[in-house]
């Protein structure tokens, strides 16, 4: 599963490195509380609005699990932020 996270390209230097580190530490959790590890693979690309997109991959597919997923990120204040992922309908 690939998860794309977008951040403002105005961040430079150390601030950009901190953001990338936080994104790299993201966790994918299913409805049952099972944690799915990142493959540590990923890449950057530039979006339509010139913001940077960081794409992370996880060791599960939506075919493996029919429920919902959340990405958990730890922000700069040390608080966990949950992002609920919604499957794209066909």
Q: What is the CATH number of the domain that holds 37?
A: 2.60.40
Q: Give the pLDDT score at 82.
A: 92
In a domain, 43, yes or no: yes
Question: What is the end-to-end Cα distance of the chain in Å, rounded?
Answer: 17
- Whether residue 9 has pLDDT greater than 80: no
36-66 pLDDT per residue, tens: 878 776 667 777 776 777 788 887 776 667 7
In a domain, 90, yes or no: no
pTM of the model: 0.68
In a domain, 35, yes or no: yes
In a domain, 76, yes or no: yes
Better-scored residue on pLDDT, 23 or 11: 23
In a domain, 12, yes or no: yes
In a domain, 42, yes or no: yes
Cα–Cα distance, 89 to 71 (Å, whole number): 19
| Total domain count, the chain | 1
- Full residue range of the structural domain in which residue 27 is found: 2-85
């Amino acid at each position: 599963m690939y998860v794309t996270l977008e951040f403002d390209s105005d961040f430079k230097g150390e601030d950009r490195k901190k953001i990338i580190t936080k994104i790299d530490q993201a966790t994918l959790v299913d409805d049952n509380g099972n944690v799915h590890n990142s493959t540590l693979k990923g890449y950057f690309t530039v979006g339509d609005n010139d913001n940077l997109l960081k794409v992370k991959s996880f060791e599960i597919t939506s075919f493996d699990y029919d429920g919902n997923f959340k990405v958990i990120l730890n922000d700069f204040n040390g608080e966990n932020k949950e992002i609920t992922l919604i499957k794209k309908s066909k």
